[in-house]
Structure 1
């Protein structure tokens, strides 16, 4: 399989902010062509030019909206179901929505965001130290057809971090008005103290939270498993525990679930849907599904029913 065409830009140096998604949804419903007129969008949204362009980028990579004819935008089925007038969470108040948006961000096959694809799937170091990661990203970029400038790579990585790590003030207090993205609430990346980087200097280290996720619903995980299955192995009746836990773009990688937790969750699937069956033996551990076509909207609705995806 050939390498996908990665995306490194489009966010205009801004991570997605708390009020942006509901604001964009309302604007698109009122005027699908608002984002094609930057001056009008700046007035209507109360944002600067680069922020408007950034917001247009984020609603698309989070699959809330998609291009329509005439350079307009329209809500996707997912965007309408979650954020529409009768949506499941129109004001972005439920952590289930955050997990779903995180999944949407990480599940692009053709034009994935490079930092998301690389760090969630391929970066094997136990800690995320900025200078070390930038060196690794630079090495990876040299394999691309068009190597990128260090400044572009650094900005792209910083936006990734601002998506999951809260902004802090001089005394280390969280500045709520400046939180870069609602996805910080997922707690996927944690501060791990000061470490020595590859240059021999002290630097803040972060790490992925690989513990069970108490607010990740079984329905959200079921939606992610079905989406991953449909895109990667549509003709297969079974997927192994290993594929679902450590495969590129798998739910285990994207949600940073340890193998024991994933095993426990998969074992619960047949309690919620008899078309799934988790089988475990000395030779294999795998999830089997009877039917191959699930209605995504039904799985999304199930995600909000509140059953937690752990034993």
Structure 2
């Protein structure tokens, strides 16, 4: 199988994972977890979002988190921002880079950020220009690339148009989101075949949710197309508050295990990472779907029983 020798895994658990958890995670716990993640070899952690607390109350402590974490050399600590107000707060907290977001679906975009696609572009353009003026890189997220809970199938042409607009405005990379975990390998192949005709693989990342257990299969398709950046969340945390039934992101440790078995390097220490996933599993008030985490807990229990 012709796949890249090395890929970048971007850990989005502290933001995308915790924004929709059942209970509130204490600020000190978030900080301790991010510090633990930073020591695993990950090169990128999305630590929070600077969104109005009314919309994401679980992340209302973003500034405190960003200011109090222990930053490891070589790790990018990023945050999601919706507008220049959020950007100003992110800059004050000295995040390394920011991410902007919108949807390929008109309806989901309105539900998520209360704006049409046309109305969203100027807002994000201002964020991107302002961030660039301060020397900060900007990443772009496009949601509902593979399907929308309100509109169903989204045309590849629409995805192309949104991706092109974001790249033209100055984001260095667009993360293509399967927000409701509806993608399958054939669809992923078709979408990437079209997109890689117009954009380089360095400009594209993949962000799969595992609602239907297809995320790793879709990741393999992405690898065969030469994609080298993938988003994931420890434990499989996550879900979209504006997409009913959407479960979490692909679990980082499941992704790492697969990549390691395939001979694809990530630079992340699996043993250290699984411990970080186990830490947050013990905190959140919901079962996490990670298969490798389940194996880890089973092995730990067997060791305890063997000692008793």
Q: How would you bin the TM-score normalised by the shorter chain?
A: under 0.3
Q: TM-score, normalised by structure 2?
A: 0.28
* Relative contact order, higher structure (CA 8 A, sep 6+): 2
Q: TM-score, normalised by structure 1?
A: 0.27
